[in-house]
């Protein structure tokens, strides 16, 4: 019984830490708007936005998992994320564009990585310079 209690406590404190991290990030974004528009956000508002964000993340995570499982996958992909953005047309459009950008960026990075070992290999290195793609 004590073990489950300790485990529950650990999970709770993990959750609290994540919440704090989210709060910090939200606070940062708020500060940027505050600087830009000459307004101030009081702490309660920042905390409220952080709370809403954290709670929505729970819904997002569950949805993403369901979408992936529905497609008989165990890995959440960009298609699942796009489905998450379906409720507002402008949002969907924005996310789709971002997806293209990200794909493009990653593709450029991949080709850069593959080119580099060929340029640099003046020593007797293994010619099959395997660039392990850790992203996919």
Partner 1 sequence: MTASLKAQPASSPQPGKRPRDGRVIAGSYNHAPPGLVLGGPVGNGTDSPPFFQELVSRVLHLHFRDCKTKVSGDALQLMAEFLKIFVVAAVRGVQQAQAEDLDIVDVDQLEKVLPQLLLDF
**70-129 positions binding partner 1, by CB under 8 A:** 74-78, 80-82, 84-85, 87-88, 91, 94-95, 98-99, 101-103, 105-106
Q: Which is nearer to partner 1, 28 or 125 (CB)?
A: 28
- What is the pattern of x (binds partner 1, CB under 8 A) and - over residues 53-72? xxxxxx-xxx-xx--xx---
The helix-helix angle for 43-70 and 2-37 (nearest 10°) equals 120
CA atoms of 116 and 114, how far apart (whole Å): 6
Compute the Cα dihedral for 105, 106, 109, 111 and give only its sign: negative
Does an H or E element contain 115, and which? helix 89-120
Q: Which is nearer to partner 1, 48 or 129 (CB)?
A: 48
Q: What is the three-class DSSP state of 44?
A: helix
Q: Least Å distance between CB 72 and partner 1? A: 13
Q: Which is nearer to partner 1, 55 or 113 (CB)?
A: 55
């Amino acid at each position: 019984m004590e073990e489950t209690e300790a485990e529950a406590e650990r999970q709770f404190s993990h959750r609290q830490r994540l919440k704090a991290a989210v709060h910090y990030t939200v606070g940062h974004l708020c500060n940027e708007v505050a600087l830009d528009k000459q307004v101030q956000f009081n702490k309660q508002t920042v905390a409220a936005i952080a709370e809403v964000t954290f709670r929505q993340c729970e819904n997002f995570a569950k949805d993403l998992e369901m979408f992936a499982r529905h497609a008989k996958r165990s890995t959440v992909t960009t298609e699942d994320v796009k489905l998450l953005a379906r409720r507002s047309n402008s949002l969907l459009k924005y996310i789709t564009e971002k997806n293209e950008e990200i794909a493009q960026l990653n593709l450029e990075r991949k080709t850069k990585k593959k080119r580099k070992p060929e340029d640099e290999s003046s020593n007797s290195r293994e010619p099959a310079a395997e660039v392990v793609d850790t992203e996919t």
